[in-house]
Chains A and B, each alone.
Chain A
């Protein structure tokens, strides 16, 4: 027996000393954590934000703000056009924004603080604030104070207003540590640059945050300081000039809705009657910049709530798809939006002339973003929608809604909920299009009004906008601190 036991013992001893033999659990497919620097992280973050915000949020916002209607035949987003929201729809986007965007921005922020790279810190903080604002604007509440901390597995949801205040403070802190010439990480947004452009972007974002809060909270002095600095972007903040006509490389919205890269038959989005009515009424040249003409060379807006599935008259080629191209920019914030905010600020604060200047600038900038000339804006600026301070809310509301229809439909839905213009008219979708008889009467709609979509049952009700999207399934399913889903009619904090 000894003969046997001894060798086995020797083996046993050998085993305990062969940790090295077993120390192989390092993934060869993954670079080591130390080698992944901020400039290797940021491009991936940017493209994830561009995909979530510039695609999913854009489509959803377009339908919820009645800028988009559903194309003939397919039914992928008919529910959006009926102002329906579900926990399932946004789950993937919520996951992508929290994991690939916010969690990785957290890493860049930590790295930049550790190395006093304050330009990088500003860049990461600005994108983080932008993302969080979008989450609040969509969901109303979102995890923030307990989020992206590995040891908190059930982060609580913070009220929208707490998140807004938090990101404002973060932006102020990040801004306080940089000057225009502080070095900054290279990005797809600004290329190789110094902090100047990020500072302007952060200021524009602060303006958007404060203006949203302004209706429910007193932020006058903060707004006054920010506006007096007058350091806003000189160009639209957008991912532009980086796209190629290939799968995985083109504008995300174009890839999913317009390209045939994926064998897609998903042609869903078309111009809404509510939008075409306003734009045709004011002979707005942006209509043909934002939407492609139909086969007759005309514009025919569709009605929310139907896909004309049994229509003999209204086929796909009669409608107008958004004029998206593989290289269309993904806008984060446009000069036009900034000008609209300034117009609104001055209108409320008694400077009608300054307000008019900014209003006119806002519309002109929108024309320029659309690739048109400043002079093309004249008939809008001087026509039905010429500025009139007594009527500022309606004019700004309608024109901002028009301007955003070609650049950022999600913001259009937000501003619609806040400014309440365009307002609902008296005619409803079912009257405009009689599904059973296939009779279409677009002339019933008064330009500059919205209408209750066809087939809005049991959700928001008549003459109501959808006020929020339901919390993502990927959150409520796994988080005992996630609150109960709130009613679709309950406004987010700034829209009350």
Chain B
């Protein structure tokens, strides 16, 4: 925090710096009112960027020009100013406690800095140190549970996985719900790839090294984000990077931060250990599940007879057989920075290098992420009216993915492993019994070790982004800025699946289902692309204060262009089976495709802030955008915003109970344009889909090409969608700021949403891009910050946050069924749909349900109806489950204890309520591996409270036990979901997690200084040490999803890899 303040303080002074004639060395000691030394007090020369800080003993020493004002400033204390006069060199200063704690500066829209106390909207700032503490490779993960109203959704546990963030709930039904990430005033592209159930990021926010971040500010409401234009409809995360600073007693400093981490499986499905390989109670040698007889320890053969050989093993439980596959993933991270200021203080520079190598829980590097980042930033005050600055970042990343999908993936191979078969015996891939050649089952799954060795999925990406900025100050009150921002990402991806080509010639008995059924042609899919964004900002800022009034006005213009191009090729029937992942390897065909898209946006905006007596602030903003993605004749739209804040404690008598109080109101609108190329119907190259395969007929076909109308229709009457938000809040500080409360109520509606609405295909189109729908999010956010104990030696901080968001789809056209399908899963006759439905929260689940007697006059009212087979009868069409993805509330707590250089901190994250689809849960029933399949010890039973339909509207009590002869028990779990129907796929998403537990020791300054360093800190930590889930969840960590970043990704998971816990150790050194 103090570091942060220093840099802004310096930054605000820099513009008026002048050359100095004569420097003088001054020194002294700073103490508090209690006479104790104050460390870390900033001492700066007004009108220059000269500054230093006091050491641990409150001592300071630096050179200042004579006749200049120097300012002593520290959080929680009043500023003190002095003028250095000729002949004076020692100043001992005492700072008084103050209520100026809110003098914190926040970077708001367009890189504009404002004092937090004047803001009329929610803006939450997280310091870089806090973000870096958990050493998360993806810095967004560190936000989890820390900011009210902000939800971090991890897309998966694998290294390199992207995280998505939603601020104040889901508003967009199909578009992005991601906030805009802005680094030093420049928007950052988000380039994510969904690949085999993983969402990985090529560049973007997840490639920013957390050690480079000075602070992250979350701007939540529309009033705060309006100036950023269309892309800010989901909020903005403003990232300010570190700049060069003078070190302790020198012009520069060097910092190193690095550590190692060990990663292990944290949550794995609970499995039964009573029954082994088989089906319907009988042993079958090639089954991929555990519906066989009770395990009895007898010696049994299993798998096919291959070349007159067959495997045998004791028919007994291998308790951790699936979990044993995973190993400890080792990760390393290092970052080093060199930074400082020039002798004349006109220039500062910051150069850093970071690398990360994460290895996941799979054996080998098949799940790994490597990243190297170089960042260089500098600014030069060429004259008191001219400053040039630049910021350049370059990173490369390599992500290897162990895919999650049905079939020959590692995870499916593990989850479908019978309880009596050991996986670690299958490591030797030279043994045909461990390859598809003679693997024990040919039912679609294979040896996880073989899958690990033979599948390939790699993303290589490079990102170059940054800015060049010019600031001119023609007169004292006016600042003109031109900023050129750029972000260039290029990537190459390759996904390879191996060929399986077996002829079964060595199979003597396959027990009926031959290994050659596993045959697949093998494929290589390659994709190369580049995405760039060019961004120009012109800003004029005018500042003026007179008497009790202050005025800041901003006029600006923004030009933005985004372009994406990619080429992709696929080939199949590989000639070389292993390891040659090249398009030239395809024996039968190679298909090439390409794609380009380009969009442009022009924005004009203005912002005015009026202040009265440092007490009341009124802010008005307005922006008009012209977008290339809207119909040309109506491609512009206007949106305003206004905020009002009143520091009412300035009008109250000073008191020590309520030392600060601010009330605020905000209203804002943000317009949003369409996706590219949605204003007309389009022709695309013809293809036909089969029932399972995506493309059964591909063109060119038989020497003919063909184009068909896209199944999505565009609209030439699209208008921009509007995001409208009202917010009211208070900030209160009690007892000398020992207790702080930030409370907000907000109501946000997103109207005229532009999205491809599902229509009856008989309209000619499966979806029509149109403006429909209105989604509202209403909620409260509470942030309570406390320091329960604060003594010289000991400090305890405790922050609590709580968010309650009520989401509702206010309207969707009734003629289109009043609902819209966001995502779905269907397999055979099972189906779970996730809808946006009028009058309900977004993400309502529909599925086939068990039927109950619905005649209220019947004595059997409410009872379950079963059929002749004793099993529930499901509804003929899908029904609302009343369950949805939305949590009732989310909350978090962070706490830290500091004493004698030790800091112990913990972060708790809670999500209460909401549901998700879980294929893992379903698979535990399908395979009979899950512990729930032990119900009634697998004996037949009559479903309690069930009736049979007599056919004439009457019912009688059911006496039929579940019919066992035809897979009754499996069907009970797998077809009718017990008595729940398709709801059985749904999983309570609640969790309570300790996100992070860490212990840091800061070595005593005296000792540190004696080894010529200024800081040494050692940290040991655990991420996700504890995860609590409801009893009903015996399967997964419910945080992950395999569906991607958007609302659709909240649908749930298909074959997700298990979640992980990380143990880490870290060293931080500063010179």
Contacts and interface: CB of A to CB of B under 8 A. Distances in A.
Interface string B797-838: 000000000000000011111111100001011110101000
A119 interface: no
Contacts of A261: 521, 572, 693
B557 A480 contact: no
A154 B816 contact: yes
A150 B713 contact: yes
A255 to B, nearest CB: 5
Which has the most chain A C-beta neighbours within 10 Å: B697, B698, B821? B697
A477 B762 contact: no
Which has the most chain A C-beta neighbours within 10 Å: B684, B695, B766? B766
A263 B500 contact: yes
B604 interface: yes
Contacts of A335: none
A107 B764 CA distance: 10
Given A477-B833, A479-B816, A45 B708 contact: yes
A93 B692 contact: no
A59 B763 CA distance: 27
A181 B116 CA distance: 83
B117 to A, nearest CB: 28
A237 B913 CA distance: 58
B4 to A, nearest CB: 32
A266 B765 CA distance: 30
Contact of A25 (B626, B632, B829, B966): B632
A470 B877 CA distance: 9
B705 A248 contact: no
A435 to B, nearest CB: 5
Nearest to B497: A263
B764 A106 contact: yes
Interface in A84-106: 84, 86-89, 91-100, 102-104, 106
A476 B877 contact: yes
Interface stretch (B43-51, B235-243, B867-875): B867-875
A22 B635 contact: yes
Contact of A11 (B538, B688, B816): B538
Interface string A271-315: 000000000000000000000000000000000001001110011
Contact of B514 (A4, A48, A316, A457): A316
Interface in A243-263: 243-244, 246-249, 252, 255-256, 260-263
A154 B705 contact: no
Interface in A396-446: 435-436
Interface string A1-26: 10111001001100100110111111
A92 to B, nearest CB: 6
Contact of B763 (A8, A74, A94, A152): A152
Contacts of B519: 260, 263
B407 A263 contact: yes
A310 B689 contact: no
Nearest to B601: A22
B540 interface: yes
A475 to B, nearest CB: 5
Nearest to A106: B764
Nearest to B968: A455
A190 interface: no
B762 A475 contact: yes
Nearest to A11: B557
Q: Chain B, interface size: which category? A: 35 or more
B279 interface: yes
A248 B867 contact: no
B817 A478 contact: yes
Interface in B758-780: 758-766, 768
B727 to A, nearest CB: 30
A147 interface: yes
A316 B629 CA distance: 56
Interface in B615-631: 626-630
Which has the most chain A C-beta neighbours within 10 Å: B628, B867, B869, B964? B628
B966 A96 contact: no
B965 A435 contact: yes
Contact of A263 (B520, B542, B597, B761): B520
Which has the most chain A C-beta neighbours within 10 Å: B511, B512, B517, B681? B512
Interface stretch (B12-20, B104-112, B347-355, B588-596): B588-596
Contact of A100 (B280, B407, B688): B688
27 contacts: A4-B540, A5-B555, A15-B557, A19-B632, A25-B676, A25-B677, A28-B597, A29-B677, A29-B684, A44-B686, A47-B706, A51-B689, A74-B443, A91-B826, A94-B761, A99-B761, A106-B764, A142-B762, A155-B763, A244-B702, A248-B701, A256-B690, A266-B692, A310-B282, A457-B869, A458-B867, A480-B814
Q: Which 5 A-B pairs have the closest CB atoms?
A: A44-B686, A315-B512, A263-B520, A248-B698, A44-B706
